[in-house]
Amino acid sequence: MNPEKESENEKSSSENAAPLWKYVTRLEKASVGGGNVSFRCNYCEKNFKGSYSRVKAHLLKLPKFGIQACAKVGDEYQNEMQKLEDAFEESSRRLKKPKLVSLPTDSPTSPNWDSRESSTATSHPFFPKKKGVGIGNSPLERAFNNQCREQLDCLIARTFYSAGLPFHFAKNPYWIEMIKFAANNNLAGYVPPGYNKLRTTLLQKEKAHIEKLLRAIKDTWKEKGLSIVSDGWTDVQKRPLINFMATSQKGPIFIKSIDGTKEYKDKHFIADLFLKVVGEVGPQHVVQIITDNASVMKAAGSIVEAEYPHIFWSPCVVHTLNLALKNICAPKYSLQNENAYNECNWIAQVSDEATFIRIFITNHSMRLAIFNSYSPLKLLAVAETRFASIIIMLKRLFQVKQNLRNMVVSEEWMSYREDDVGKAQTVRDYILNDLWWDKVEYILRFTEPIYEMLRVADTDAPILHKVYEMWDSMIENVKKEIYQHEGKEDYEESPFYDVVHNILIERWTKNCTPLHCLAHSLNPKYYTIKWIEEVRGRVAPHKDAEISVERNKCLKRIFPDPDDRQKVNVEFGLFNSLQVYDEDNMENRWNYNPMLWWSTYGSTLPILQTLALKLLQQPCSSSCAERNWSTYGFIHSMRRNRITPKRAEDLVFVHSNLRLLSRRRPEYNSGESKKWDIGGDNWDEPFGGPGLLEVAYLTLDEPEMETSIVENNDYVDDDDVVVL
């Protein structure tokens, strides 16, 4: 019989047994088309022509099949039909025997062996045939089932190779658990779930379960409060997406994302989205909303504050610091900015020269190969959208300074002939120029306090109460580095520092909110003699006029009732005047974490304790929302660019929140799957994508770790993290 004809008959027989035929009435056979028939839907009573795939598309409301979805089939009936279809597809797969390419372990005794190939079979490369003993028939091999284990290894390896999975995926604990479960249970005839079941039934089941597991975290919001964090992104189909996350002491929870296509994204649209999210999580639990520093976000924040006076809009500290670094390291010329441009333009020139060096080395395979032979660290391709991108590039370049010098004076470099000899000579001159490296080192030194604060703030850690003090300390440290370089005393003037100081103060003025001042005032450490005497001119928060004014504004909004406000003011007076504490309590103000101190000693000030336990748990940046776009980009990549926004949102919800739950388990920090998700999402993205801070910071600031993370193929394959 003709194989093609046999295949068609099998397909026709299978379609006739399909479950959804019972929901339509078959009419006469269509005059044209192999398996097409005329049929009438039993629900909407409309007539159509087509095969079973069109019946399924009509009833299950599947798009892009050229048939109208049935308007009379409700969700309950549709779900029932979907279950029947999933069961039918699964049973059909069980009956099918896929004809796969043979494995390295295929032999006359293995399931995939084709008897037609037996005439050409030779001894097995992995198990040489012993005299009198068949392959896999020795008692020891039968006891441990070595042949099946070897075949399973090959099947798993082929899955990785054929799907392009990174080797890092083998560390995923859920993958390991799945294989172990299947191996240790008798599941004869089991067929894994198919395409439709994975993206519908199982996805919704997992999402519902994750939501149930998140309740324990959400229950802490009543006492500890939360911050709503938001950020915008454009997916591969150029659709503007806005995501919302709720972050608290227990970590950031992905709430939802909104497709802003065809929407005019003004302050009213953004504010309405925030108000809906606030309503979903409970406005009484929300302490603040954090966004970037865009004017439309600030205006939207004002609308939310007007609706809920106790909720504050806070600009992201990381965005603020990044803008300050850009103003310093890449100044733009204008009449108003002429002085800053004249003082800081040399930094931009050094940055351009460093970029020239990096591009010249990395855009040619031969030059890159020579560099790689001299340096264990790589030159990172840092996108301009990345926070502190200029500093990151200069920092890495300075780390490989000696390697670059060894390279340009080497025989390989000198003997290498490239068309553009002038550029090669320019690169060599920069690298061997001590004065040029002195400039690079100076830039890194005086920007280090800014960069370090950016790193500290660019986390989900509860550091809202530290922001005010961090800004003051950071500005003082910047001044110290500049004055030391210029050889000046504190009382002398420095035009360059004046420019840098003005930029930082201007950004801090826009960033500082009453909430920062109140949180600063509730940190017990800032009332101790040790802290006050650390820096000349420091005063306790209640003696600082600016902080006191902003704190009182904040308390007025949180406690609109005059009687409640009077009570909390009395408690604050007792707290800062030290009247209700003994010597041990005062000593622990310095030693204890602020949260621990308030939990231990704050019961005598109940209103202030409740307020402190909320404010001291809050972050100061929108970093979790930024990093979430790397997850979104991973899920909604070019390979999956037709996925619907709703399904992408469900996948991101499961992906992000499952990782949050996983990281809270002790197994995350030990064993074979230790930190299994670091870098795991980003195997097909270069450094510089949104939110790739976990890996980037590790490889940037801990170069001794990079060789074990990036270079060691036992941990992360070289396709996992793109370096140059």
Q: Inform me whether the pLDDT recorded for 696 exceeds 90.
A: no
Q: Give the residue-averaged pLDDT of 148-160.
A: 88
When mean pLDDT is compared across 118-127, 434-443, 462-471, the lowest value belongs to: 118-127
Q: What is the pLDDT of residue 689?
A: 33
More confident: 177 or 114: 177
More confident: 329 or 237: 329
Q: Give the residue-averaged pLDDT of 61-68.
A: 83
> Whole-prediction pTM value?
0.73
Q: What is the pLDDT of residue 116?
A: 41
The pLDDT mean for the chain works out to: 80
More confident: 651 or 215: 215
Q: Inform me whether the pLDDT recorded for 720 exceeds 50.
A: no
Closest CA to 657 of 284, 256, 281, 289: 256
Confidence label for 459 from pLDDT (cuts 50, 70 and 90):
confident
Q: What is the pLDDT of residue 137?
A: 60
Q: Inform me whether the pLDDT recorded for 13 exceeds 60.
A: no
702 φ, ψ (degrees, to nearest 5): -125, 70
Q: Give the residue-averaged pLDDT of 310-338.
A: 91
Q: Is the separation of the CB atoms in 418 and 367 below 8 Å?
A: yes
Q: Is the dihedral of CA 181, 182, 186, 190 positive or negative?
A: positive
Rounded Cα–Cα distance for residues 534 and 517 (Å)? 20
Q: Give the residue-averaged pLDDT of 489-508.
A: 93
Q: Is the separation of the CB atoms in 319 and 292 below 8 Å?
A: yes
Q: With H, G, I as helix, E, B as strand and everything else as coil, classify residue 424.
A: helix
Q: What is the pLDDT of residue 510?
A: 85
Q: What is the pLDDT of residue 138?
A: 65
Confidence label for 610 from pLDDT (cuts 50, 70 and 90):
very high
When mean pLDDT is compared across 301-305, 421-425, 607-611, the lowest value belongs to: 421-425
Q: Inform me whether the pLDDT recorded for 95 exceeds 70.
A: no
Q: Inform me whether the pLDDT recorded for 8 exceeds 80.
A: no
Q: What is the pLDDT of residue 258?
A: 81
Tokens encoding 420: 């553009």
Q: What is the pLDDT of residue 133?
A: 43
When mean pLDDT is compared across 23-37, 407-421, 684-698, the lowest value belongs to: 684-698
Q: What is the pLDDT of residue 552?
A: 94
Confidence label for 579 from pLDDT (cuts 50, 70 and 90):
low
Tokens encoding 341: 């441009």
Hey, where are the domains in the chain?
Answer: 21-89, 202-316+621-677
Q: What is the pLDDT of residues 121-145, one digit of tens each?
A: 444 444 444 444 444 566 666 666 7
Q: What is the pLDDT of residue 109?
A: 47
More confident: 89 or 225: 225
Give percent of the chain with pLDDT exceeding 70.
77
Q: Give the residue-averaged pLDDT of 557-583.
A: 85
Q: With H, G, I as helix, E, B as strand and everything else as coil, classify residue 288.
A: strand
Q: Inform me whether the pLDDT recorded for 581 exceeds 80.
A: no
| Helix, strand, coil percentages in the chain from 3-state DSSP, rounded to 5 | 60, 10, 30
Q: Inform me whether the pLDDT recorded for 641 exceeds 60.
A: no
More confident: 383 or 687: 383
Closest CA to 56 of 89, 28, 27, 34: 89
User: CATH says 202-316+621-677 is which class?
Assistant: alpha beta
Q: Inform me whether the pLDDT recorded for 658 exceeds 60.
A: yes
Tokens encoding 381: 């391709």
Q: Give the residue-averaged pLDDT of 505-512.
A: 89
Q: What is the pLDDT of residue 665?
A: 75
Which of 148-162, 258-272, 540-554 has the largest mean confidence? 540-554
Rounded Cα–Cα distance for residues 47 and 39 (Å)? 6
Q: What is the pLDDT of residue 615?
A: 94
Give percent of the chain with pLDDT exceeding 90.
35
Q: What is the pLDDT of residue 686?
A: 34
Q: Alpha carbon of 653 to those of 203, 208, 493: distances in Å?
A: 10, 10, 54
When mean pLDDT is compared across 62-66, 236-240, 412-416, 518-522, the lowest value belongs to: 236-240
Confidence label for 119 from pLDDT (cuts 50, 70 and 90):
very low
Rounded Cα–Cα distance for residues 380 and 403 (Å)? 15
Confidence label for 237 from pLDDT (cuts 50, 70 and 90):
low
Closest CA to 415 of 447, 367, 449: 367
